[in-house]
Structures are given as C-alpha cells and as structure tokens.
Amino acid sequence: MNKVGVFLLLFLGVAGLYLEQQPQVVAAFPWIVSLIDYLLFIFIVAEAVVSFIRAPFKSGYVKSHLPSIVFLGVYSFFFIVNKLNLFFSPDATSGLNFFFIIIRNILLILKMYGRIRKFTGYLNSIASKPAQTVVLSFFIVILVGTLLLLLPFMSSSGHIRLIDALFTATSAVCVTGLAVVDTAVHYTIWGKIIIMLLIQIGGLGIMLLSSFMVMVLRRSVSLKDRSVLSFMLDEKDIVSIRNSVKRIIILTFSIEAAGAALLFPVFLSTEMHPLNAFFYSCFHSISAFCNAGFSLYSDSLLSFQGNLPMNLIISILIILGGISFIVIIDTASGLRRVFNGGKAKFSINTKVVLRVSGALILVSMLFIYKLEHETLLFRMGLGRQYLAAFFQAVTLRTAGFNTIDFGTLRNSTLMFMIGIMFIGGASGSTAGGIKVNTLGAVWAYIHSFRRERDEILIFKHQVPQVKIQQAFIVITFAVLSIFIVSFILMLTEEAEPINILFETVSAFATVGLSTGITPFLSLTGKICIICLMFIGRIGPLTLLTASSGREKKSRITYPEATLLIG
C-alpha cells in the first residue's frame, strides 16, 4: 500500500467515524455510511488479497501474517453478518452493529500503524532529522487517540463529535488539560483510561516509551532510534542514552506510584469505593506529574480547596514534573553527597532551574494573594487564602489544576498569570512555555549588555552565543504564535479580549487553565487552539528544525548590512 492508499484509508475511516456521530446526517442520508463501510471493506480485503498474490512464498506469508489474517476474517464475518441483518431486520441489529464498529475501528488503527511503519523509504529520509520523527510520533499518537475516543463505549452518551475527540486527544497528548467537554461526566471509565494513557505517552514521548519496552525485552536499540532519543533528551553521548532512558522511565513511574499511594487515602476519605479511589489516585498522580491538569471532577480540584494533603501532594508532583528529569537526578545526586558528608555540586542548568522556579512560585503566590485578597479570597480563612494562592502559583507552571474559580478573577490577576504561564517550566520537562532556562539565558544576556561585557555569564560560566540565539528564537516564535491565534479568536469568538489572550497563552504554554470559554469555542477556535497546543508541546525549536531544509554550506562571504536597531 503506497502513501496515497494509506491516507485514503485514513480519510475513509475518519469520515465514517465522523458521520456515525451525526445522527441527523445518517437519518437524512443513510446510504453514506453504508457506502463508506463497503469502500473500506473492499479496500482492506483487496489490499490483503493483492499482498498474498504477490508473496513469493504463500505458506511463509500466511505464517508471518497470521494475526492480521485472523483479524481480517473476524472483521469480514462481522461485516457480512451485519449487512445481512440490516437488510432483513433493520431494527434488530443495534448490538451487532456496535461490535462491528469496534472491530472495524481497531482494524483501522492496526492497519494504519502497520502500514505507516512500512514506509521505509520515507522513514529513512527523516531519520537524519530526529525532529521530524518526534513531530510525526506525536501526530500519530494524537490520531490514534482521536480514533479511540470516537468509539461508542468511550463516552457516556455513546457518541462524541470528531472535533471534540480530536481536541481532547490533542490536549491529553500535549499535556495541556483544556477540555471542550466535561471529562468527569462525558467519558466512561474506558474513555478516562484512554485519556490517562494519552497523558502518560504525551508526557514521556512515544519514542521514549517504545525504546524502553525494547530494552525490557532485551533487544538492542537501533542507531536511528538512539539519535532520536539523543535529540529528545538533549544528550550528546549516544552510547549512554540507554541508561538515560532507563533512569527517566523508572524515575517517572516511581514518582507517579508514590503520588498515587499518597493520594489514595485522600480519595478514600471522601467515602469513595476503594477501586474508584485507586483509579482516581493513579489518574490524578499521572496528570499532575505530567503537568496535564486533567481532573475527574467537573470543578477540577475546587472541592479540595482547603484539603492540605491534596494541595501539597499535587503541588509536589507538579513541581517535580516541571523541573525536568535531568534536574531531579542532578539534585538527588547533590543531596546524596551532602548526606555522605561531602559538598553539594549542581550543574549550571540545575542552579538556574531551581532558583528561577523557586523565585517564580514565591512571587506568584504573593502577587495572587495581594491582588485577590480583598475580592475572591476575602471569604476564606487566612490559612486557606495562602494555600489557594500557593496552589495557583504552582499550577500556573503549566499544570492546569485549579482550586479557585478563574472566571471570577480580576483582569489584573489574569494579566499577571498570563506572564507566568508564558514562562512555563524547565526545558526537558513535561511543562510548556518558553521555559525558565530561556528566561535565565535572556536575563544573563541583558545583564552582560548593560555592563558592556562581551562574555555572557551565568554563575561565572560563559553561555555559548548559539544558546542566546535559540532563546530569542523561542521567545519570538511564541509571541508570534500567540498573537496570530489571539487575533483570529477575537474575530471568531464572543468573549472578552483578556479571556481570549488567557486562553491562547494557556494553550501555547500547555497549561490548561481557562476562564471558562473553552467549551463555547467555535469550530475555527477549536482548530486554532488544537494547533497552538501542538506547537507548544513540540516546541518552536523542534518545529523549525523539522521544517528546515538541508542547505549546502557556502564559502561566499557577504558584506555586512547597516541596520538601525531600537
């Protein structure tokens, strides 16, 4: 199957799934869904028959493709029986049609995954550019997540619009947390499990997880995969990348397991069934550490506003997920030296992340308390006021949970929060934003410029010029992206400009906080926010690297231009 065939299969599958969620269209044009089903059936069966005919060794082909052949047989059986029953007894096939849709959608996902993996020529062409592989992997996960959420048993009502499923899948994979439907009410337990898995995959990255599974099975990781992992983790030593992947995965699961264990008695104390409490603790622990902000409560964590254990546990998970794996490992190593009687030694990156992050949390807490002390926080006790201000200061670092109603905040508070969200967390973490590392580099450059110093120093260490250039590129790209989407939303949405700006910055920084306008976005607004969440999660540098071409190095020297600045 060539590229055109794969995308034709994808188009037919998505079109069928979309039309199934539109009862008015199906009622008016019932033949459309049937036509798509027949085209899909003919397309898939014909592809299997052609592959079998072209195979030089028939028995070997059957053995190597036995699972696909069995699944195709099951699909064909359900298709034929379903269509015969629809013909002879249209009113008695709802249950059978339900199972047929499930089988068909699973087959589509497997077919798409299998065929995309066989694009050896295309994959080889992008292997030299790991950035393209990263972008493609996120795109595929979002696509698969969308198809899964479209399954009837994923939602309590039995159907969800295609754009809403795409929005939810993108928000989960991009660990944002913005939602156009109420996650707690709209999705069944299966839908919530899929969202939790998408958050986990999005937080770590499909390449990281798949490589870890390969290592668990004691197989070697290819050089191509090592180069992609090296790009993702900013690890120059490709040889030691195996150990880095293991440390990150084990560290992630350990922190999430510890968080779930601590949250379990909190949920259990709300008179929740132990199994539900276990699932809720796992979901919120993963969502917090991955800085996703998805909650199984309609009001996020507003009902836990004065619950000290819940606030502290979620805050710690958010902070750990937002400072990056490298900083966690380096900090743990430094503390271990102190306990052993030695001197703590931290890398420059760790010092910048910890100091800037700590300063931002402290300043944010004080500002939120000051700005809302006489309004939103006025009716709370003093302890609960500081706790609410602290939690919001932490969650602004791209987490997305909230224990206060953001729709009632003052415009000055929202504007301050926009600036904190724009900065975000640390590079290499599950957080978004321009990153505190970028802020540190720009601050060092401004400080050196003021002193008319040629060297750009951070903690008496010189920062390479290329890092300063990257920092300004990230900020410029972020500002342009937010400006363009905000401008479009102000044309298409009926909302206050400050709320629209808050929404766009929240989407780009993958924060997930909202003043309440997300469910009311138009189709254009939802598409814009989806694109912005994807851009924010992938990162400006990765996207620019993935989209750049290969330019041959030239020895030609051009004359300098005289350009007035400022």
Residue 65 tokens read as 């493709």
How does pLDDT run across 25-57, given as a tens digit for each residue? 556 666 666 777 677 777 777 777 887 888 887
Q: Which helix (H) or strand (E) holds 113?
A: helix 94-117
User: Which of the pair, 270 or 99, is modelled with greater confidence?
Assistant: 270
**pLDDT score at 99:** 55
**pLDDT score at 369:** 93
Q: For residue 393, what are the contacts with CB-CB under 8 A and spacing of at least 6?
A: 360, 361, 362, 364, 365, 368, 420
The overall average pLDDT reported for the chain is 80
**pLDDT score at 211:** 53
Q: Is the pLDDT of residue 269 over 60?
A: yes
Q: What CA–CA distances, in Å, run from 45 to 38, 49, 79, 364?
A: 11, 6, 12, 59
User: Which of the pair, 375 or 10, is modelled with greater confidence?
Assistant: 375
How does pLDDT run across 406-424, given as a tens digit for each residue? 988 999 999 999 999 999 9
Phi and psi (nearest 5°) for 395? -70, -20
Identify whether the C-beta of residue 397 lies closer than 8 Å to the C-beta of residue 361: yes
Handedness of CA 383, 389, 391, 393 (dihedral sign): negative
Identify whether the C-beta of residue 184 lies closer than 8 Å to the C-beta of residue 298: yes
- Determine the average pLDDT of the residues in 292-308: 91
pLDDT band at 92 (very low <50, low <70, confident <90, very high): very low
If you ran DSSP here, which 8-state letter would residue 403 be given?
A: S
- Determine the average pLDDT of the residues in 180-206: 89
Q: Is the pLDDT of residue 82 over 70?
A: no
Q: Is the pLDDT of residue 535 over 80?
A: yes
How does pLDDT run across 366-401, given as a tens digit for each residue? 999 999 988 888 888 888 999 999 999 999 988 889
pLDDT band at 276 (very low <50, low <70, confident <90, very high): very high
How does pLDDT run across 105-152, given as a tens digit for each residue? 555 555 554 444 444 444 444 444 667 777 877 888 898 888 888 888
- Determine the average pLDDT of the residues in 444-463: 84
Residue 370 tokens read as 């000051």
User: Which of the pair, 222 or 336, is modelled with greater confidence?
Assistant: 336
